[in-house]
Amino acid sequence: MSIGQALLEALESLSGNKMRSGLTVLGIVIGVAAVIAMLAVGNGAQASITGSISSIGTNLLFVFRGGPEQGGGGPGGGNRSRNTRPLTLGDAEAIADPFAAPSVAAVAPSLEGNGLLAYGGETTSTSISGVTAAYASVRNMELAEGEFINEEHINGRMSVVILGPDTADALFGRHDGLVGETIRIEGQPFRVIGILVAKGGGAFGSEDNAAYIPFTTAQARLLKRGSLDQVDMIFIQATSAETVTSASEEISNILRQRHRTPVGEDDFTVFTQQDFLQTFETITGVLTIFLGGIAGISLLVGGIGIMNIMLVSVTERTREIGLRKALGARKRDILLQFLTESSVLSLVGGIIGILFGWLIAFIVGKVATATGTEFIPIVGTDAILLSTSFSAAIGLFFGIYPASRAANLEPVEALRHE
């Protein structure tokens, strides 16, 4: 029996039991659709997170207080151990020295904290950063309106603030036409001088839900620290993406000399954008595999359904099998016939499942966009090939036993079967 003949007979046999065949295919459809949709959501999440991190620049470095072995490395100053020397404005100035760190283009120290913002009857709690004039360029920030904090604001300790769009929405119900308005931060009046362009989540949370004030103002009035020159974080821009590694080494050497710490006992942590990207890609990669594995269980259940239906089919067609063998059909012909039927079921289910999976991913993307979340599921070619080949393999695997059972039937016993 040729492959073409086996395919025609399989289609004829399956069309004779449309309801049963349709329900069997449904199991594969659900499994494949689940795999496609889950992988699309996982890939979309990974692309969204890495895109948000990359949007603030691939040549950005972060310096935190506290070494890796001390549990440091986080916004707000990291580890507060007594043995850990804090970062200072002097550290930032030393790093900005072009002779000591030629790979460094700009440096922006900051103070980090949280506070309550109020306007009229509306209040919101958000992160507050005390920043310098270089902060905007180092962090690759864009203003939708107004101006960023400059040296005049810093030197005068002015009560001015830059708002993220989400923070502005929470206070005013809009994020445009707000320059000149006065809000209160922890009860103190601040004049709005700028609104940032929406960027979404960043390495330390959403930059859209934040407020930025002059470093000196934060230092004197809102985010006081143990000493006047103490800072929580230092943001550093390397001269290019290629010089990030050398910039990291130069920064580490400068801080070791200033803090008098030997190699391996650093009381600071230097992170790069690549470090964050690798961390988030690992997390989202594991999440994607986990989601795909759960969805793969549906495919396994669909395969068991195929085997169950094929076993029923063998029992129902025992006399037919005996007659075919009596007329000269070989064992491999019977085997090919039933394997073709199971493969057709799984392939048809796989094709329909791909379409449904893409549709589910498309709907998820539309729902996310409608709710204001910039998230686009990505249906990759690898996911399509994986689910299609897996569904075909399942059809063959779970069809082998029923097909083998049919092929091994004795003609005489099969013809006597009632």
Which residue ranges make up each domain of the chain? 3-53+278-416, 85-266
The answer, yes or no, to whether residue 326 has pLDDT greater than 70, is no
Residue 123, SS3 per DSSP: strand
pLDDT range class, residue 401, cuts 50, 70, 90: low
The token pair at 182 is 């006065």
Least confident range from 109-123, 127-141, 215-229, 402-416: namely 402-416
Write the pLDDT tens digit of every residue in 172-217.
888 888 888 898 888 889 999 999 887 765 545 567 788 899 988 8
Q: What is the pLDDT of residue 82?
A: 46
* First-last CA distance in the chain: 27
Give the largest CA-CA distance in the chain.
104
Residues with Cβ within 8 Å of 167's Cβ and at least 6 positions away in sequence, in order, are: 117, 124, 126, 208, 209, 210, 211
Neighbour count for residue 416 (Cβ, 10 Å): 11
The average confidence (pLDDT) of the chain is 76
Of 8-12, 135-139, 300-304, 393-397, least confident by mean pLDDT is 8-12
- Structural contact between residues 315 and 40, judged by C-beta atoms closer than 8 angstroms: no
pLDDT band at 122 (very low <50, low <70, confident <90, very high): confident
Q: Rounded to whole angstroms, how far apart are CA atoms 115 and 192?
A: 16
Mean per-residue pLDDT for 372-387? 73
Burial 33-55 (b: 16+ CB within 10 A, else e): bbbbbbbbbbbbbbebbbebbee
| Pair 383, 35: CB distance under 8 Å | yes
Residue 143: other Cβ atoms inside 10 A: 15
pTM: 0.59
Is the pLDDT score of 375 beyond 80?
Answer: no
Please tell me the distance from the alpha carbon of residue 324 to that of residue 79, in angstroms, as a whole number: 79
Is the model more confident about 18 or about 109?
109
Provide CB contacts within 8 A for 265, sequence distance 6+. Answer: 67, 69
Answer yes or no: is pLDDT of 387 > 60: yes
CA distance 41 to 30: 16
Q: Is 401 exposed, middle or buried (0-12, 13-18, 19+ CB in 10 A)?
A: middle
Residues of the chain with pLDDT > 70, as a percent, come to: 72
